Amino acid sequence: MPQPYNLTNLTDANNLFEFFRAGNQLSEGYLGLMLLIGTWLVFFFSFKGYDTKRAFAGTSFITAVAAILLRLMQFISNEVMFMSFILVGISVVMLRMGD
């Protein structure tokens, strides 16, 4: 019975980068997106000591930096990276309109 997925790339990985790249190819690009969403969630809940607008702004900025790194490693598409930039813009507008 043939395997539904080609797992040979995962077992041939020599380092952690190759392992994640093979996992990203296996999941059709969703691994990078889930890493980015997970980063956003972890930082947002860790910044909850601040008010929500500041937590959203800080988290969006850190996620945008992570999106640049993930894009350089070709784990996410350009659209996902630009969406994180849009979140930074929204958070800046929220901070300026507040108070």
**Residues 20-29: tens digit of each pLDDT:** 888 888 778 8
Amino acid residing at 58: G
Which pTM does this prediction carry?
0.81
Which stretches of 1-99 are DSSP H helices?
8-11, 16-26, 30-46, 52-72, 78-97
CA distance 43 to 56: 9
How many Cβ atoms from other residues are within 10 Å of residue 57's Cβ? Answer: 20
**Residues 46-94: tens digit of each pLDDT:** 998 999 899 999 999 999 999 999 999 888 989 999 999 999 999 999 9
Written as one string, the DSSP assignment of 46-61 is: HTTTS-HHHHHHHHHH
- So what's the pLDDT on residue 91? 93
- Domain segments of the chain: what residues? 28-97
Angle between helices 78-97 and 52-72 (to 10 degrees): 160
Classify residue 77 as exposed, middle or buried by CB count within 10 Å of its CB (0-12, 13-18, 19+). Answer: middle
